Amino acid sequence: MRIWIKDPLAILAPNAERGVVVDGAEIVECVPRGGSPTLLCGTTFDASRHVVLPGLINAHHHFYQTLTRAHPAGEGKDLLPWLVAMERVWDRMTPSALRIAIRLALAELLLSGCTTAADHHNLFPPGLEDAVDIEVEEARAVGLRMTVTRGSMGISEKDGGLQPDSIVQSSDAILEDSERVLQRHHDPSPGALIQIALAPCSPLAVPQRVLTESAALAERYDARLHCHLCQSPDEDAYAMQAFGKRSVDLLEDAGWLGPQTWVAHGIHFNEDEIGRIGRAGVGVCHLAAADMAFGVGICPTKDLEAAGAPVGLGVDGSASNDSSNVMEAARHSLMLQRLRYGHAAVSPYYALRWATEGGARCLGRGDIGRIGAGLQADLALYRLDEPRFSGAQDPVAALVLCGAHRADRVMVAGRWRVIDGRPEDVDIEALIAKHRAAAKAFA
């Protein structure tokens, strides 16, 4: 049934002051100031107390980590010791634990106003070979649009890597399952609810064969490529020692430097690499909370954009951020980027653009991330009824500056997935109880 989301308090879209009309999964009309819908609408939703945004996009996460938030094994450690400690906890992951971890992450993201998420699942201990299938099933059940990335780690301790043998797979196993999940789940068409990307953990975590053959698979199936890149200075120090090249060079050698790729973190690029990444159209997902948590540096967002690289936002793993809230990530990014570039150089609208249109570009999607006729009806609606918003003069900017953290309504592909601050089709209290019980196995 065609619905008019009518007369919002504010809306982040041009010429839509009186709202938008949704028909099926798409926005079919923006209604300008003083106008009325030209199309007959079966229902009307009064949005006069709501600020309407395009659905937020989370371009990098690790869903399984929701079971290990604020974990004492990792607290107070720098990045690499943290990884070493936590991977010995995560190798206990089971299919049932993963399923509950994913569902909690999906519900938490939805409640923040997120409508699309990319999850980097790179954990495949024995018994968890169907992890990507579990993610797809849960995403469909909860109703979030997703890019599920088939991650991989292929160099273990015995080979000189950091990862325990229990979570590392052979190159053959990685590539065979990568093609399997592409064939089974990947939908490259506009409006797709599920897409698959291939995501070796980093250029240093898998043999070069996995990088090059993943690039070939991605091209064959019209899919995208993803990895962690240049989060810590230690990464390039190791790359130079082991390969005589920097991490960006390793990706270029494998055929990854192109618009089919987006990377996570992207902090420690040199000036030449920023230019190369920008010219290639590689997207960069800024992860402010995790980067601050580990004190590893600040992503050069504005330099990357000036060079031509799309910039999106993500929440990163719930064990390195301890939260799965994309609106919170927008606020973190605003404050951190002002620390780098100055107060006047980065506005709340920059942060919201990164959290919407920028994330869509990272994921290679032109059908989401903005509000306009012909685009997918992915919308996040926030109320400003809390004391923190009282006196706010710019309702859109207030969402970031005053710290919005929970959406009142969320629509994905034309369907309400959050109503009155509660997720549809999810018993949130029962979910939390099950999730807490499952987390005890990781204490």
CB atoms within 10 A of CB 244: 8
Rounded Cα gap, residues 402 and 85, in angstroms:
36
Query: How far apart are the C-alpha atoms of 47 and 8, rounded to whole Å?
Result: 4
**Residue holding tokens 């109880």?**
433
Domains of the chain and any CATH numbers: 3-54+369-423 (2.30.40.10), 56-362 (3.20.20.140)
Angle at 223 between CA 277 and CA 122, to 5 degrees: 85
Nearest residue to 379 (alpha-carbon basis) of 142, 55, 114, 115: 55
Q: For each of the chain's 443 residues, which pLDDT tens digit applies?
A: 899 999 999 999 999 999 999 999 999 999 999 999 999 999 999 999 999 999 999 999 999 999 999 999 999 999 999 999 999 999 999 999 999 999 999 999 999 999 999 999 999 999 999 999 999 999 999 999 999 999 999 998 888 777 888 899 999 999 999 999 999 999 999 999 999 999 999 999 999 999 999 999 999 999 999 999 999 998 899 899 989 999 999 999 999 999 999 999 999 999 999 999 999 999 999 999 999 999 999 999 999 999 999 999 999 998 888 999 999 999 999 999 999 999 999 999 999 999 999 999 999 999 999 999 999 999 999 999 999 999 999 999 999 999 999 999 999 999 999 999 999 989 999 999 999 999 999 99
- 207 CB burial (10 A radius; 0-12, 13-18, 19+): middle
Cα–Cα distance, 175 to 250 (Å, whole number): 19
The C-alpha atoms of residue 184 and residue 34 are separated, in whole angstroms, by 48
